[in-house]
Amino acid sequence: MTAFHVLAAGCGGMVFRGMQGPTHCGREPVVAGLWYAAHGRTVWLGFACEQHAGQLVAARALLSRDRDTLHRRRDRHRAELAGQQWAGEQEGPLARGAAAKRLIERAQAT
């Protein structure tokens, strides 16, 4: 399984640079889609650039609500970097367990 940071404030893809280890992709997201975490059997909303779009299930162009979510994630990231506690909305998975599996199956069928 390819590494992906689902709650990233940008593209969730990871870039591997040899001995340096993985780092977060710095490219701007252009698609939104589902990401299935098999170890927790959860489905999450993720964002990716063109290069990492293939890591998402049912990737689609960004909608205005996706851009709003990205703005909230960026606000949260800036607050955390400043040493502040994030008082905004906390994100969670879209579905868990059997419901997550069904959501992925439906998304792949369309």
Domain borders along the chain are 14-109
Judged against a pLDDT cut of 90, whether residue 44 lies above it is answered with: yes
Q: 4 pLDDT exceeds 80?
A: yes
- Using the structure block, give the residue that is written with the tokens 């970097």: 81
Looking at residue 17, its pLDDT comes to: 79
Give pTM, 2 decimals.
Answer: 0.88
Per-residue HEC secondary structure of the chain comes to CCCECCCCCCCCEEEECHHHCEEECCCCCCEEEEEEECCCCEEEEEEECCCCHHHCEEEEECCHHHHHHHHHHHHHHHHHHCCCCCCCCCCCCCEEHHHHHHHHHHHHHC
Q: Quick one: pLDDT at residue 110?
A: 80
Closest residue by Cα to residue 42 from 97, 106, 105? 97
